[in-house]
Amino acid sequence: MFNCTFNKKSVMKLIKIGRAQNSDIKLQSPYVSSNHAEIVLLDNGDILLIDNSSNGTLLNGVRVTPGVEVPIRRGDQVTFADTPLDWNLIPNVVVPPTVKRIINIGSNNRNDISISGNGVSRFHATIREMKDGKWFICDTSTNGTTVNGMGIPKNRYVPITYKDTIVCGGVPVKNPIPKPKCKWWIPVVGLAAAACVALGVLFCVKGTDIFLPTYTDEEIAKMYGNSTVFLYGSYHFEVECGSLDIAKLPDPDKPGRPLYSKFVISDGHLMQYNGDNSMDFTATGFLVGQDGYVASNLHVAKPWLSTNRKYLSNESTIISQAGDLYRSKLNKLVSSGYTEVIQYISQIQIKGVSDGTLVFPNGDFLDMANTLNCHEVISSDDPNVDLAIFKIRASSFKSTSRSYVPIKYIRKNSPDRGKHIVSMGFPYGVDIFDNPLKTPIQYNMLSGAITRNDNAYTFGFDGASAPGASGSPVFDKHGRLIGVLCGGIADTQGFNLAVRSSELEALLKKAKITK
């Protein structure tokens, strides 16, 4: 729930002071707390001081009460533990003459729209209504703000309309922008715009991307970084050989033990599957749409279809190797006198069986308490289209509580060779984290350029790749999804492959995932 009573004194700026890396004014003294104090600048020139520390804050020699807003004036002696405030670091803020109204959002009761939630900051975001009728939103929080599922850059005003969906720190916020009244000239403008488009087509004007906003790699990562998820999965193999009763045969490699029909591969050898020794893997996925769907690769949903150089010296799949190793066992039985087995060797059928896939959202600790189970919804029927879609099983989980890739921002046409790209994922799996149980997992960002665009299903781009990055989203400079990373040569520069985003759009449509 939220309150929406507009205050006369709006917050213009929140200044965080302390030893923390994200402090606006960073102090070095060991006596200063990480988040020692805050200074709030109001639109009428008033200044408020809030102490959050252990060792206290002094105002003109008197310790202020922690957690209480205290009015201060420029020139006052303010001391944070043993460090005095440098007033030169506190800007003079005034309401720009082009601003008609300011609406503050956050958990503090001074905000115009007061919301609560674990991810909501005290002064989370600001909406400005301009005198020309336009509206803008600015994120000033710790956990971010999304507009239509896209994370917006911090401390930067982004245009919004009455149709946009706003979520602050995982909490939906009622859009305060009123629906505009219908005006007679709008159809006229629409006709004029249509005429311009027609003229553009007539004169073969190419590259309408020039009208789209462009973003830096960091801004795109800010928008979509928290849509990435770390995937951990496990699986084993099962075998059938026609009517052959495998359990009645001995294991040729372990005399006295029966042959098994469920197994795993370990260091190039078969081992009996006992329920606890699954083959595991890590990969990347990303939230797409509003309802907890995760896009990744076919070889992530069915990892036995992937290649693994830890086991292989060629490009055959893991399930192919499993078949070769099992046939080798049966051939050993034939050599040892079980000649009746020879007729069944050609009937061997190996299938991979998933033992589960777990989801860890970016920024969470790699702890079982944070896991989200997911299941495969749909995978591509074409092995050339390395795509799959999962669904997070938790009924309470919604992508709108985090940033996600809106389906409408999936690019439909092919990207051009030489164009810049940026991707986020988890190469090297858990090996890249110093201590994933104590440090939140964090995506790695890769940037490069499209190097080849001659395949019907994929395109190539440069940049160093590594196992674990499979399933990473790939964006263009306009923040549109253009592909899903599906392969490459590890630890090299210049050979990565991504499935085209148009194929993902088709798979979503086939699964009737539309929002």
Give the position of tokens 């105002």. 59
Give the Cα separation of 100 and 133 in Å (integer): 9
Ordered DSSP codes for 360-424: EETTS-SSGGG-EEEEEEEE-SSTTS--EEEEE--TT--GGGS--B-GGGB--SPPPTT-EEEEE
Strands 262-266 and 293-296: unpaired
User: Residue 496 corresponds to which tokens in the numbers above?
Assistant: 């990565």
Residue 365, Cβ density class (10 Å: 0-12 exposed, 13-18 middle, ≥19 buried): middle
- Other Cβ atoms within 10 Å of 214 Cβ, number: 13
Give the pTM: 0.59
Q: Are 380 and 511 in contact (CB under 8 A)?
A: no
Reading the chain (515 residues) residue by residue, the pLDDT tens digits are 333 333 446 667 888 999 988 788 999 898 999 999 999 888 778 899 999 999 999 999 999 999 899 999 988 999 999 899 988 888 877 777 788 889 999 988 888 899 999 999 888 999 999 988 999 999 988 889 999 888 888 878 888 999 999 999 999 999 999 988 765 555 555 666 666 555 554 444 444 566 678 889 998 988 888 899 999 999 999 998 888 888 889 999 888 899 999 999 988 889 999 989 999 999 999 999 878 899 999 999 999 988 754 333 345 788 888 888 998 888 899 888 888 888 888 788 899 999 989 888 888 777 776 678 888 999 998 888 899 999 988 765 665 567 888 888 888 777 788 889 999 998 877 766 666 666 678 888 888 888 887 677 888 888 766 778 899 999 998 889 999 998 876 545 557 888 999 899 999 999 898 87
Fill in the DSSP letter of residue 100: E
Q: Max Cα separation, the chain?
A: 98
Chain mean position to CA 120: 19
pLDDT of residue 108: 83
* Cβ neighbours of residue 71 closer than 8 Å, sequence gap 6 or more: 46, 47, 48, 49
If residue 300 lies in a helix (H) or strand (E), which one and from where to where? helix 298-301
Runs of H (alpha helix) within 100-184: none
Per-position b or e across 371-392, b if 16+ CB within 10 A of its CB = bbebebbbbbeeeebbbbbbbb
Domains of the chain by start residue, with CATH: 3-89 (2.60.200.20), 99-173 (2.60.200.20), 186-213 (no CATH), 218-227+404-510 (2.40.10.10), 232-392 (no CATH)
The strand pair at 83-84 and 78-80 is best described as: antiparallel
| Contact between 348 and 323 (Cβ < 8 Å) | yes
Question: pLDDT at position 3, please?
Answer: 37
pLDDT of residue 208: 56
Q: What is the pLDDT at residue 289?
A: 86
Residue type, 396: S
In this predicted structure, what is the pLDDT of residue 348?
85
- Enumerate the β-bridge partners of residue 481: 410, 475
Q: What is the DSSP letter of 306?
A: S
Question: How many alpha carbons lie under 13 Å from residue 199 in its C-beta half-sphere?
Answer: 6
